[in-house]
């Protein structure tokens, strides 16, 4: 497999908590998929998990080399977890179209968080 792109992001958990507090359900449903909302809301430190997914979405778009261009929405990038906890990325809409154009067959993600910050690192891969 060849590396097409890499991306990283770090965000303050307090910033995400303030966005949730200020905008509530409108913010959450605009940024996160129903699956992500269910996962994060069920966690003891839900803000840290929301922040980790925010960072993951940013890192994925950096790995694609696009950033937030027209045709891509926050919910086009979804973080899911395999049994055992390993995060994976599911792409839809504009993000998936760009992935297909670039020949990207796999997107790998790593997410970490603590009380104050969440960070993510993404790698876009294509077959040889």
Active-site residue numbers? 62, 113
Q: Residue 90 — φ and ψ, nearest 5°?
A: -120, 125
> Distance between CA 17 and CA 28 in Å, rounded?
11
Q: Between helices 46-64 and 13-31, what is the axis angle to 10°? A: 70
The H-or-E segment that residue 51 falls in is: helix 46-64
SS3 112: strand
Measure the N-to-C terminal CA separation of the chain; round to a whole number of Å.
5
Beta bridge partners of 118: 11, 113
């Amino acid at each position: 497999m060849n590396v097409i792109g890499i991306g990283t992001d770090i965000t303050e958990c307090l910033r995400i908590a303030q966005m949730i507090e200020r905008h509530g359900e409108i913010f959450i449903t605009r940024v996160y998929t129903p699956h992500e909302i269910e996962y994060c809301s069920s966690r003891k430190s839900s803000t840290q998990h929301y922040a980790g997914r925010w960072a993951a979405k940013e890192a994925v778009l950096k790995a694609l080399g696009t950033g937030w261009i027209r045709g891509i929405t926050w919910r086009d990038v979804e973080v899911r977890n395999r049994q055992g906890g390993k995060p994976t990325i599911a792409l839809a809409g504009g993000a998936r179209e760009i992935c297909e154009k670039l020949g990207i067959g796999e997107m790998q993600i790593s997410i970490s968080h603590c009380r104050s910050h969440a960070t993510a690192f993404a790698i876009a891969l294509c077959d040889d």
